[in-house]
Structure 1
Amino acid sequence: MASNQPYLTFHDGRRIPQLGLGTWKLTGEATVPAIKAAVETGYRAIDTAYIYGNETEVGQGIAQCGVPREELFITTKLWNNRHHREDAKQALQESLDRLQLDYVDLFMIHWPVPQENHYLDAWEALIQLRDDGRAKSIGVCNFQLEHLQQLLDKTGVLPVVNQIELHPYLQQTALCAYHDDHGILTQAWSPLGQGQILQDPVILEIAHQTQVSPAQVVLRWHMQKGHIAIPKSAHPERIRENFNIWNLLLDDGAMQRIAGLDSETGRIGPDPDRFHVMKG
């Protein structure tokens, strides 16, 4: 299948596919077949991280997928215990070695860990890694508005993207507005709410009306909102289903109904202001 999906443009001029394959909890023998199935389906973006423990297998999948490296968009992330400047640089080289790549398209700080307050050091290291070409673009994950503002105030350099928990139950309207105002793209992890949203009556009704799956409804909502999404699956049929959303269009009524699902208690993952896991 040809890769017919849209791309979004970073403020540094580079582009990212709007829909990618997430690999959190994708480990062992399942990793390579999932990547090969995704690339065959049309995905060109693969998202991994040191802490996922699968960079070696992701690299094997990239090597075996049959698509030239320059057509793929590969992301990995810096873990919380490597925020010191020289340590961050070494961490990327270790990730590149596991991936068997000369560069990644996007290198990200995985969590701000504000209690340690070293994310600014890590960001300065990422700027240097971008300048020397080992990371083509640099971004962050799970940064709150005040963390992003600190990067801007201290370095003048904003991330091209902030990858955050984002799904219909947690729409993060204020943070997304800050992104829009500052040219930062919004990327959703757990875009399907770890499956919880797929049983919501509103999503089920829209899926029935449009004759698609609940996952396709939610992923199409992300696309129409301008988000980047990285759903994870190890199953080829679901990988294909998640990608088959380009002929679907949600009308204004459906979009408004999904907007009404936002909740103050919608967060499923950790709170970025408190998350403080250091061991890798």
Structure 2
Amino acid sequence: MTKTVSFANGGEIPVIGFGTWQITGQTCVDAVRAALRSDYRHVDTATMYGNEAEVGAAWQDSGLPRDDVFLTTKLPPRLAGEARRTLEQSLRSLGTDHVDLWLIHWPPGGADASAALWAEFIKTRDAGLTRYIGVSNYSPAQIDLLVRTGGEAPVLNQIPFGPNDWDAELVNAHVERGVVVEGYSGFKRTDLRAPALVAAARAHGVTVRQVVVRWHVQHDVVVIPKSKTPGRIAANIDVDGFALTADEMAAIDALGS
């Protein structure tokens, strides 16, 4: 059973998802199929990725019930004035009547624009087109603005994140606001040759990438590793057989200092 992280409103999200940025066409279909076969139950896409139809085809081909697959997509701010129409197109592409999580991909220009878009997100959530709403690439201050103007916080903020980005104050700022942190580009943003990672991988007989994923999991930070290779896709989620020690976690955290 995939570990989940709880939202402040009582929902939950699988802590490990499959990222699909820059994967398109049949390659995307094959990669998502491989991920679902490897027990991923959370797939991340976005309108701007241009692969929602491929993601939808892959999960439908899997035979898994809709409720077993947590689907995330995102709205680019340039389409802020057409938010509901864009989500409805995403749903058609994905082949579903709702997504589990819909994110503002990055803040639109201006405080008023952000507040107005968040109000639209709340309306689409209340209409049942998405179960949860969140943001991406927002600062804690920008999240506070949404709360002041919209009356509620996003359930999640997806931000660039990996061991080299570790910032306890930033993570705690999200925790204090009841916002789950989800990290993207964890491998790309990490020095995979760092001695702390290499030592932990050697100690547990796993890959450095598995250590990076496990580090996210132990911090309760949602992680969405991406790969096109079935073997690596399977390995990236196979992190239940070991746990990083407190000393190993501290040494990896120190990469962000």
Please report the TM-score for the alignment, with normalisation by the length of structure 2.
0.96
* Post-superposition offset of 1:131: 0.2
The aligned runs of 1:1-280 (5 Å cut-off) are 4-84=1-81, 87-115=82-110, 118-192=113-187, 194=188, 196-263=190-257
Distance across 1 between alignment mates of 2:194 and 2:108: 32
Distance across 2 between alignment mates of 1:46 and 1:135: 15
* Post-superposition offset of 1:63: 1.0
What are the superposed Cα offsets for residues 227-263 of structure 1, whole Å, 9 maximum, x if unpaired?
A: 1100111111011100110111000110110111004
- Aligned partners of 2:162 and 2:189 also within 8 Å: no
* Post-superposition offset of 1:202: 2.0
The one-letter code matched in structure 2 to 1:197 is D
Matched residues, number = 257
What are the superposed Cα offsets for residues 78-137 of structure 1, whole Å, 9 maximum, x if unpaired?
A: 0020123xx111111111111111100000000013458512111110100000000110
The one-letter code matched in structure 2 to 1:100 is G
Once the two structures are overlaid, the 10-residue window that deviates more, 197-206 or 31-40, is 197-206
Distance across 1 between alignment mates of 2:171 and 2:215: 15
Distance across 1 between alignment mates of 2:206 and 2:68: 29
Distance across 2 between alignment mates of 1:91 and 1:137: 16
Distance across 2 between alignment mates of 1:215 and 1:239: 11
- Aligned partners of 1:166 and 1:172 also within 8 Å: no
The one-letter code matched in structure 2 to 1:235 is T
Residue ranges of structure 2 left out of the alignment (5+ in a row) = none
The one-letter code matched in structure 2 to 1:183 is G
* Post-superposition offset of 1:190: 0.9
Say which SS state the counterpart of residue 182 (structure 2) adopts: strand
Please report the TM-score for the alignment, with normalisation by the length of structure 1.
0.88
Distance across 2 between alignment mates of 1:157 and 1:172: 25
The one-letter code matched in structure 2 to 1:61 is A
The one-letter code matched in structure 2 to 1:6 is K
- Aligned partners of 1:5 and 1:246 also within 8 Å: no
* Post-superposition offset of 1:195: 6.3
Residue ranges of structure 1 left out of the alignment (5+ in a row) = 264-280
What are the superposed Cα offsets for residues 179-202 of structure 1, whole Å, 9 maximum, x if unpaired?
A: 11121111111122x164212222
Which has a greater percent of helix?
Answer: 2
What are the superposed Cα offsets for residues 28-75 of structure 1, whole Å, 9 maximum, x if unpaired?
A: 111111111111111100000011110111111111012111111000
Say which SS state the counterpart of residue 26 (structure 2) adopts: helix
* Post-superposition offset of 1:219: 0.6
The one-letter code matched in structure 2 to 1:227 is V
- Aligned partners of 1:165 and 1:188 also within 8 Å: yes
Say which SS state the counterpart of residue 13 (structure 2) adopts: strand
Identity of aligned pairs, percent? 36
The one-letter code matched in structure 2 to 1:58 is V
- Aligned partners of 2:162 and 2:186 also within 8 Å: yes
The one-letter code matched in structure 2 to 1:81 is R
The one-letter code matched in structure 2 to 1:237 is G
Structure 1 vs Structure 2 CA RMSD: 1.4
Say which SS state the counterpart of residue 212 (structure 1) adopts: coil
- Aligned partners of 1:108 and 1:139 also within 8 Å: yes
